[in-house]
Structure 1
């Protein structure tokens, strides 16, 4: 049985769709239920192990998606990042010591953990020098998982994902440029751009990311490995905004503000390792990914959209 912690959030909702299509057995653990997941959800509080420890004995693999923050949440407050994200993961790993868990998949960050790049492209052996509490927290969790794996209780796969985009993404959760740009288009709002719009970013369709997660569970080569996952292409902020305008048919209004100190300016991930070891290739390009997200965002903006389509980690 696969346990998905944070299974009603953006990535989790897409992962459950993926597992349903593959007829794979899973159990979702989350603070709230979500449409389409239903009876497969156990309501827990990840910050309180007593709410979930009894379920761990039935799990063989776990996918860890829980996050209390995005890069801007605790931008100048590392204590809050540690308290809300790092400590709950340390408690989970302690609780899992007496479980049947054999493999852990953790979704980390493909930009924040590396910090300013030392080379034109970033491979998995690039130095990790985060410049934000968010990136520092992600790296702490990675190291805790790696360290506890040396006891032989479980193996791990750490996925350093670029910026995921696609269905179920929410601008209200601060989940990225594409979500915010499409929200501005639909609501006739103004999109705030940090910096001059030339920063380069790698993206990944959430459906492709879910395929890597599943292969990380199934394929022995993924044991005790770290993978960068992205499209293998980069786009400037301005290019993404132009694409969102083109797809939505609305000229998105923008406002430029000062670059945030916690953001890494240019991130270009090298994805050769995941291609080679897991036989994976991204299927979706940037345009089709944004189109999928726009279709979902448009449906949510409809007066008939059900309340429980909202996103919750």
Structure 2
């Protein structure tokens, strides 16, 4: 297994082949970092050549993880095996496939004093639960109503324990709803991707409630730069929201997409269903703490981001390349 020899500017991205992970890897490479990606499958063809890629289907308990952590000075952990929607199908499985893995990584990293920073990616869209607040800051109560959110919050508590008891320099980041190029549709997470793919595939798109839910949509490139900002300048032991501070309903997202679809000759087939009990009505994040500590702020407007995302999906659709 080929790994970098220079610890000082080497970052390990666990889950770096995923949707957000790809963007994080690009951000790190642009900053001149050496990057080691740990993924469960073989190296994707789209992965940059200069990335050190380690396939590790066995999870956190394998010797490979220890070898990689010994060769890096920074860790960003994006790995997670479920989504908010799928977590309801088997809540016990949601715990078993996510919680032990995260704690094992924390336990191992805490034994390695050369690790300068560890960033664990939580979920700003699920850990807070129902709220009447128009914008949610990090001091807001956490009362998740999905197994996914409950497990994410539990892992945050373990992260805090390792910071307090073993001085693991860990930061937790709570992103809002990421969207953009490379997001997979039809997986129960990512309304923008599913809406676009449904239009292009001629599939019916379901809206739960007349307007759907209100969510804080952040382009994946901004999510990546925020995560890297937390890596470089975030304070160990802290939790940071990563959002835009602006909410859009599902119907408003559709209204942004409709003229793009019409111009390209596509139609939207929409079906409205009753609201679902497990959907949080509104979730919009206050990102000022991350801005104050790291200088980060979102750069991609929703107008620009939705246009870029639409164009990417259209290009893939035109060449019959899978999402």
Residue pair 2:126, 2:146 contacting (<8 A) in 1 also:
yes
Offset, 1:118: 4.3
1:53 is the counterpart of 2:62: no
Q: Output one character per residue of 1:142-187: Cα deviation in whole Å (capped at 9) or x when no partner.
A: 1111111113442122111110011111104333110010001111
Do residues 141 (structure 1) and 136 (structure 2) align?
no
TM-score (norm 2): 0.89
Alignment of 1:94-243 (within 5 A): 94-99=107-112, 100-219=114-233, 221-243=234-256
Instruction: Show the 5 A alignment for 1:230-309.
Output: 230-249=243-262, 250-303=266-319, 305=321
Q: Which runs of 5+ in 1 are unaligned?
A: none
Give the number of equivalent residue pairs: 306
SS in 2 for 1:297: helix
Counterpart-to-counterpart distance in 2, 1:109 and 1:48: 21
Q: Which shows bigger deviation, 62-71 or 49-58?
A: 49-58
RCO higher in structure (CA 8 A, sep ≥6): 1
Quick check: 1:14–1:167 contact (8 Å CA) kept in 2? no
Mean Cα displacement is larger for which, 19-28 or 41-50?
41-50
Who is 2:48 aligned against?
A: 37
| 1:91 partnered with 2:100 | no
Which stretches in structure 2 are left out of the alignment for 5+ residues?
A: 1-9
Q: Distance in 2 between matches of 1:189 and 1:169?
A: 18
1:72 lines up with 2:62 in the alignment: no
TM-score of the pair, normalised by structure 1 = 0.91
Counterpart pick for 1:26 among 24, 35, 53? 35
Q: For residues 207 and 98 of structure 2, what CA distance do their matches in structure 1 show?
A: 27
Distance 2:118 2:276 in 1: 33
Q: Give, in whole Å, the separation in 2 of the partners of 1:128 and 1:182.
A: 32
Residues 191 and 263 (structure 1 numbering): CA distance in 2 closer, same or farther, change over 3 Å?
A: same
Q: Measure the CA separation in 1 of the matches of 2:149 and 2:58.
A: 20
- Against the structure 1 CA distance between its residues 304 and 74, is the aligned structure 2 distance closer, same or farther, given a 3 Å change threshold? closer
Secondary structure of the residue that 1:98 maps to in structure 2? coil
The CA distance in 2 between the partners of 1:45 and 1:146, in whole Å, is: 27
- CA–CA distance in 2 between the matches of 1:31 and 1:273? 33
Specify whether residues 178 and 207 from structure 1 end up closer, same or farther in structure 2 by C-alpha distance, changes over 3 A only. same
